[in-house]
Amino acid sequence: MIEIKGITKYFGKNPVVEDVTVTIQPKMITSFIGPNGAGKSTLLSMVSRLLDSDTGEVLLDKGNVKKMKSDAFAKRVAILRQSNHLNVRLTVRELVSFGRYPYSKGRLNSEDEKFVDQALEYMNLTDIQDKYLDELSGGQKQRAFISMVIAQDTEYILLDEPLNNLDMKHSVQIMKILRKLVDELGKTVVIVLHDINFASVYSDRIVALKDGRVVKDGLTNEIINTDALREIYDMDIPVQEQDGCRICVFFNSHS
Amino acid sequence: MIAAIILSCISLFVGAIDIKPSDLLDWDSDKTQIFLISRVPRLMAIILAGAGMSIAGLIMQSVSRNKFVSPTTAGTLDAAKLGIIISMLFFTNVTYFQQIIFSFAFALVGTLIFMQLLDRIKFKDVIFVPLIGIMYGNILSAISTFLGYEAEILQNVQAFFMGSFTLIVSGRYELLYVAVPAIILAYIYANKFTVAGMGEDFAKNLGLSYKMVLNLGLVLVAIISTTVVLTVGIIPFLGLIVPNIVSLYMGDNLRKTIPHTIMLGMVFLLACDILSRLVVYPYEIPVNLTVAVFGSAIFLVMLFRGKAYAKK
């Protein structure tokens, strides 16, 4: 379980994240949603130690993450940021193999190779494993990065807008894989999402942020309704039910 | 590999004095002496300098995440040179050892300053970054020239840094062997450099202490650059083009590419050196001239063809 306790981050004099307290429940998909500049990515960066918080603390199973050793932490929590401009020429397999770095420091044993094979298969990359990353399409590249994070075999997987720049087909594909990771492998996934309908259909819990503060935190059904959404987005959004999924029809909403 | 061996043999038997392999059978002859005092050290110096500069370039490109950064385009060589000049000027009885320390310290600090600059600039275009590096190097070089001019040692200085293997005889190149452990260390830490090359966020995610690897890389680069500058002089472009050529056909997984980079660096420098010795035979032109001619041509091709490649 990850507990975020009273965390605050200033960029200059402005607080981007202010006194946020959230608990990430294990074996669930938790989505961070909210308008632009709400502090979602910053919050995720602090949970994954990429950024230091100014006040407050993040606890991983009651232990402060700042006090953990970096390779021990890398075996438990993996993060993928949204902009992954790699100007390194690696093949897909090489990239995914580096997901095993926290365990093997680059010298892979047979067990590591097994994890790499599985991760490639999970993301349907086995056929293109020897291609260089710069020969891939955006969707394939994103799948390769996620595959690396899977090979890292952590309990917690944090993804910052993994659907960025992906078309509908690939977005659905990736969300389904994340669902499988939680349901079949018992992982805990935290994602920053812009599309509330993806959040609605695929997540178990939703944390809504606005101006650096948590405005809503609860089960998906408690958040995806017109009243709660108005508080988050300042828009009147009708919610319709379709095959058991709640869909927000926000395209012609009044604000 | 085979090319390296063939070129090494040619290199041993090319020179103003004609030496045939058969001459070596007579152990006490003058020719054997020349062979041992001049030719063999020269070959070793070329091999070490070629491998060293290429690896230094590879490390810099990896940790700076820019394909066009190298000891030549980041001010490292100019900083090492400035260090040597300052040590010559301010300590009248400067020992060789002091020169080494000064040069090393300057190369390290000079490169660190460039990396800090790189951190601060927002506009990280692949071409823009090395341009800044070259300007920065020229500023350092201008300081060196000014100091040299003031002290009236300008000609000495210019001759000293002219990259050339002409003056390499036994007793004058052994410092280069310091580059060997540096290269071995680079190979041992190859995976760390590759991970660091993926960027700070990736490195942190994989539990790698990014700053430590960055600093280690810069120390290795400074060691290699210093030893080469002090013994051979400034050889431009080598650290820039060799790693890039290898990257084109092998990618950037350093554990895989380091052996190839070493080989190609040796072969390239050997070929250039042999050519320098043959063009105006029995005289020779400085090897840095030959390297610069071929290097800049390859560099231009890389620029035109490779802007897309380097960006990715």
Look up residue A13 and give its two tokens.
């004099």
pLDDT at residue B286 in the model: 83
Residue type, B40: V
Q: What are phi and psi of A225, to 5 degrees?
A: -150, 160
User: What residue type is B13 in one-letter code?
Assistant: F
Report whether A207 contacts A32 (CB < 8 A).
Answer: yes
- In the prediction, which pLDDT does B53 show? 93
CA distance A246 to A249: 10
Asked if residue B52 lies in contact with residue B182, where contact means CB atoms within 8 angstroms, the answer is: yes
Q: What number is the average pLDDT over the span A63-77?
A: 90
Q: Which of these ranges, A194-198, B13-17, B124-128, B178-182, has the smallest mean pLDDT?
A: B13-17
Helix (H, G, I), strand (E, B) or coil at A207: strand
pLDDT of residue B312: 42
Q: How confident is the model at residue B307 (pLDDT cuts 50, 70, 90)?
A: low
* CATH code linked to domain A1-76+156-170+188-255: 3.40.50.300
Q: Domain ranges in chain B?
A: 43-311
Q: Find chain A residues with C-beta within 8 A of B207's C-beta.
A: 69-75, 101-102
Phi and psi at residue B70, to the nearest 5°: -155, 175
Give the pair of three-digit tokens for residue A142: 């994103």
Mean local confidence (pLDDT), A177-188: 93
Residues A35 and A194: their CA atoms lie apart, in Å, by 8
Q: Which of B202, B207, B311 sits opposite A73 (nearest CB)?
A: B207
Phi/psi at A58 (5° precision): -115, 125
Residues in chain A: 255
For the cut 80, the answer to whether the pLDDT of residue A31 exceeds it is yes
Are A20 and A3 within 8 A, CB to CB? Answer: no
Q: What is the mean pLDDT of residues A156-174?
A: 89
User: What is the mean pLDDT of the segment spanning B56-67?
Assistant: 90
Chain A residues with beta carbon closer than 8 angstroms to that of B251: 89-91, 94, 132
Picking from A71, A99, A134, the nearest residue to B312 by CB comes out as A134
- CB pair distance less than 8 Å for B208 and A70: yes
- What does the DSSP 8-state code read for residue A128? G
With 50 as the cut, is the pLDDT of residue B228 above it? yes
ipTM value of the model? Answer: 0.84
- Token reading at B110: 């000079």
Contacts of B282 (CB under 8 A, 6+ apart): B15, B16
Mean pLDDT within A59-72: 89
Q: pLDDT band at A151, cuts 50/70/90?
A: very high
B134 CB burial (10 A radius; 0-12, 13-18, 19+): middle
State how far the alpha carbon of A164 is from the alpha carbons of A46, A190, A225, in Å: 21, 15, 25
Location of structure tokens 């807008």: A161
pLDDT in tens, A82-94: 766 777 889 999 9
Contact B205 A91 (CB under 8 A): no
- The residues, ordered by sequence, that sit 6+ positions from A225 with a Cβ below 8 Å of its Cβ are A239, A246
What whole-number distance in Å separates Cα of residue A168 and Cα of residue B305? Answer: 34
d(CA B13, CA B19): 6
Using CA atoms, how far apart are residues A150 and A174, in angstroms rounded to an integer?
A: 12
Token couple for B307 = 């802007």
Residues constituting chain B: 312
**pLDDT for A197:** 93
- Residues B146-166, mean pLDDT to the nearest whole number: 75
- Here the tokens at position B31 are 């020719």
Rounded to a whole number of angstroms, the distance between the first and last alpha carbons of chain B is 30
Q: Edge to edge, what strands does the sheet with A205-210 contain?
A: A77-80, A156-160, A188-192, A29-33, A205-210, A213-219
Q: Answer yes or no: CATH 1.10.3470.10 is held by domain B43-311.
A: yes
Q: How confident is the model at residue A144 (pLDDT cuts 50, 70, 90)?
A: very high
B193 near B199, Cβ under 8 Å?
Answer: no
Q: What's the pTM?
A: 0.86
Identify any residues that bridge with A23 across adjacent strands, giving them in sequence order.
A3
pLDDT per residue over A40-56, tens digit each? 999 999 999 998 899 99
B23: exposed, middle or buried (Cβ count in 10 Å: 0-12, 13-18, 19+) = middle
Q: What is the mean pLDDT of residues B85-104?
A: 79
CB contact under 8 A, A101 and B207: yes
Q: What is the pLDDT of residue B131?
A: 84
Sign of the CA dihedral running B7, B12, B13, B15? positive
User: Of A237-251, B88-102, B167-181, which one has max mean pLDDT?
Assistant: A237-251
Q: Confirm if A42 and A14 have CB atoms less than 8 A apart.
A: no
Q: At what angle do helices B238-250 and B40-64 cross, to 10 degrees?
A: 70
Tell me the average pLDDT across B289-310. Answer: 77
Mean pLDDT of A213-240: 91
Put residue A153 in one of left, alpha, beta given phi > 0 → left and psi -120 to 50 → alpha. Answer: left
The pLDDT confidence band at residue B116, using thresholds 50, 70 and 90, is confident
Reference B138, options B130, B126, B150; nearest CA is B130
A101 interaction partners in chain B (CB closer than 8 Å): 191, 195, 206-208
The shortest CB-CB distance from B205 to any of A74, A107, A134 is to A74
Higher pLDDT, B129 or B193: B193
Per-residue model confidence (pLDDT) at position B152: 76
Name the token pair of B303. Answer: 């620029």
Once rounded to an integer, what is the mean pLDDT over residues A97-114? Answer: 89
The backbone region for A192, taken as left when phi is positive above 0, alpha when psi lies in -120 to 50, beta otherwise, is beta
Rounded average pLDDT over A52-78? 91
Contact between B193 and B254 under an 8 Å Cβ cutoff? The reply is: yes
Answer yes or no: are the C-beta atoms of A44 and A98 closer than 8 Å.
no
Chain B CB contacts of A91 below 8 Å: 251, 253
Q: What is the pLDDT of residue B89?
A: 80
Q: Burial letters for A127-150: b for 16+ Cβ neighbours within 10 Å, e otherwise?
A: ebbeebbbebeebbbbbbbbbbbb
CA geometry: angle A125, A126, A131, nearest 5 deg: 75
Instruction: Work out the average pLDDT over B151-175.
Output: 73
Beta bridge partners of A78: A157
Q: Do B252 and A98 touch (CB under 8 A)?
A: no
Tell me which of A54-63, B11-20, B235-244, B281-290 is least confident.
B11-20
Segment B272-277 mean pLDDT: 86
With 80 as the cut, is the pLDDT of residue B144 above it? yes
User: What is the percent of chain B with per-residue pLDDT over 90, rounded to a whole number?
Assistant: 18
B contacts of A105 (beta carbons < 8 Å): 191
The confidence band for B24, taking pLDDT boundaries of 50, 70 and 90, is low
Question: Which of A161-165, B36-40, B176-180 has the weakest average pLDDT?
Answer: B36-40
Q: Which residues contact B101 (CB under 8 A, 6 or more apart)?
A: none
pLDDT bin (cut points 50, 70, 90) of residue B146 is: confident
Per-residue 3-state assignment (H helix, E strand, C coil) for B43-72: HHHHHHHHHHHHHHHHHHHHHHCCCCCCCC
Q: How far is CA B19 from CA A67, B10, B168, B170, in A?
A: 67, 11, 18, 18
pLDDT score, position B311: 47
Confidence tier at B279 by pLDDT (50, 70, 90): confident
Chains A and B form CB pairs within 8 A to the count of: 82
- Other C-beta atoms closer than 10 Å to the C-beta of A230 total 14
Domains of chain A, by residue range, sit at: 1-76+156-170+188-255, 83-153
Query: Which has the minimum average pLDDT: A139-153, A203-217, B52-66, B165-179?
Result: B165-179
